[in-house]
Amino acid sequence: MYTPISAATKADSQSTVELAPFYYLDNFRALLDAVVAQYADLLRPEELGFATGFAALQPREQALMVRIYSRQGPLLRSDRLVYAELPDLPDLLESLAAKGWLLRNPATTREVLLSCLTRAELTAWCGAGTVGRRADRLASAQGETQDILARVPFVFIEPCHRPILRTFMDLFFGNRHQDLSTFVVSQLGHVRYPRYALDSHSRFFRDRAALEHFGVLAALREQVREIEEARFGNPGSSRQPPHGGQPRSETRDSTGAALLAIAHAIPDLPADDPLRPRADRLRNRIARQLERLDETSGALEVYAGSLGPPARERRARILFKRGDPSGCESLCQAMSEAPLDYSEEHFARHFLPRCQKKRGIKVTPPPVLSVPIRHLTLPGRPVEGLENGVARHLSGAGSDAFHLENWLFNALFGLLFWDCLYQPVRGAFMHPFQTRPADLFEAGFAARRRAAIEQVFHDLETEPHRLAAQVQETWQRCVGYANPFVGWLPEGDRLLQRALAHLPASHLSKVFRHLLGDLRNHASGFPDLLVLHGDGGYELIEIKGPGDQVRPNQAQWLDFFAREGIPAALLRVDWPP
């Protein structure tokens, strides 16, 4: 038999969930309570007053404030605040204004007011033109601020305390890409988040300075995004930047100077600070854009301040390009002796000979792929896809082939190391809506959990007979919870049990140690097929069709399997034209 992975989808036993009328208020209260419980010592008096003041509002006033806080824009229009559960909205707005929670028709500029009006409204109330770009219509609009306020049949609303709310959101989520909608995603059952401990001992922000650093990094990251969109274009947008994405020479210097200024403003944090990886990712991002501007000196400077990959690799490449093979070789040697992840090790192994050759040193060519290479000719192109067609061809005569790709070893790893992944480590978990620890792909992930991880390896190596039962128990206990390594395939537990009957624990131990060496890069590239033989043996097979090449992440796994004596092969497949 064979099992095509396309036939197996993520388990989904969700049913329709109907939210309570004031679900959003319950979520907002939960956020405030969680922040006060964890960070009361970090909050300023006015921030604590925000939480107590909100609790003192009437429930319907609270509900309207949450609705208002969830809307975007500097000003809101009262005619667009329509909520079935809040029919007495005018009275609520008046009461909240009297209590200092919002402003009605606040002092603002003419431009802000006009930006809140539609095309038809601009024409009817402000005499704006009816054709041309919106900017042109805004420019032709008539009337000053007071004139506009007198003409519109509604009230402009500005919520108070937004900066304080931003502080609460930052403390709760620890990022700027999640918001209150995350609660709803969980409540509707779209994502089941794993369970883990949240307490003040393992909280993300150690002190007020850490919160300030977080805000600085978020602001600087937004500045970089704006520069990238203006000069290089937004990869997620169809809008093309000026000059085809390449800045003109007259703007190149100013762009480079602006990026360098942002890099210099990045806080210099200790290596063990939970925010240091974020700071280094921002440095690497800035330096990469400086490379695009051909500002290599600035790029070298910024990369030198980063502790995270690929900073050293990029520095080495720049030095080599600038004709400094000796400096490049020194960096490659450092990466070879103490790689931060597999990408550094792989780069150093392949780039170091180039540096030495440039310096006139005789080098030995890197070894070719060391796994067995076999060939298979099929009668025609498989209609069900190459991998599934080969799996069908190899099944039979006592052997079963399964098209599992990355799923098998990732799932086994996620299940065996489940408790290690969700261990309470400082800075790893900030709120109940995380599928993985925040430091999962950082260089120090395994070191921070060394004792727990080594205990799993000890049990695996000394009690291999318990392996299948441990995997089954975790599957049954955690099925359906989101995990970065485990895909809950239908009958996935049965597939794992079949595989474990053939996979030696010693082989799994080697694979998992290699995987832990670089979780970001090693979680992919596994061979396409698992073939289970009737004599209890097994084989991993990477399939390549006509013209297909082995990718670097696949090559590193095939090389690893060959070095460790794990049965694997490369199968090149063709068929008649």
The predicted-structure confidence for 148-179, as pLDDT tens digits, reads as follows 888 899 999 999 999 999 999 999 999 999 99
Could you tell me if 311 and 253 are in contact, meaning their C-beta atoms sit under 8 angstroms apart?
no
Q: How far is CA 267 from CA 50, 72, 222, 271, in A?
A: 29, 30, 15, 12
Question: E strands within 333-429?
Answer: 373-377, 400-403
pLDDT of residue 453: 98
- d(CA 571, CA 374) in angstroms, rounded, equals 5
Distance of CA 441 to the CA centre of its chain: 10
Q: What pairing do the DSSP bridges indicate for beta strands 400-403 and 2-3?
A: parallel
pLDDT of residue 238: 38
pLDDT of residue 2: 40
Could you tell me if 274 and 427 are in contact, meaning their C-beta atoms sit under 8 angstroms apart?
yes
Q: How far is CA 375 from CA 197, 324, 371, 399, 566, in A?
A: 52, 44, 13, 18, 20
Which tokens in the block code for residue 177? 């890409």
Sorted by sequence, the CB contacts under 8 Å of residue 543 that are 6+ apart come out as: 386, 387, 390, 527, 528, 529, 571, 573
Q: Report long-range pairs for 294-301 (Cβ below 8 Å, ≥24 apart).
A: 294/252, 295/252, 295/256, 295/259, 295/260, 296/321, 296/322, 298/256, 298/259, 298/260, 298/263, 301/260, 301/263
Q: How far is CA 105 from CA 56, 94, 192, in A?
A: 25, 12, 43
Which tokens in the block code for residue 440? 């999962």
DSSP string computed for 526-564: --SEEEE-TTS-EEEEEEE-TT----HHHHHHHHHHHHH
Could you tell me if 121 and 31 are in contact, meaning their C-beta atoms sit under 8 angstroms apart?
no
pLDDT of residue 361: 85
Nearest alpha-carbon partner for 65 in 173, 165, 152: 165
- d(CA 151, CA 25) in angstroms, rounded, equals 34
Which tokens in the block code for residue 76? 């809101």
> Which residues on neighbouring strands pair with residue 396, listed in sequence order?
399
Answer whether the bond into residue 310 is a cis peptide, omega within 30°.
yes
pLDDT of residue 251: 65
Instruction: State the Cα angle at 180 between 175 and 185, rounded to 5°.
Output: 100
pLDDT of residue 371: 85
> Which residues on neighbouring strands pair with residue 402, listed in sequence order?
3, 530
241-288 pLDDT, tens per residue?
444 445 455 567 799 999 999 999 999 999 989 999 999 999 999 999
Which segments of the chain have a pLDDT < 50? Answer: 1-14, 235-245, 247
Q: Report long-range pairs for 36-44 (Cβ below 8 Å, ≥24 apart).
A: 37/200, 38/171, 38/198, 38/199, 38/200, 38/203, 39/171, 39/200, 39/203, 39/205, 42/171, 42/205, 42/207, 42/208, 42/211, 43/167
- d(CA 134, CA 115) in angstroms, rounded, equals 9
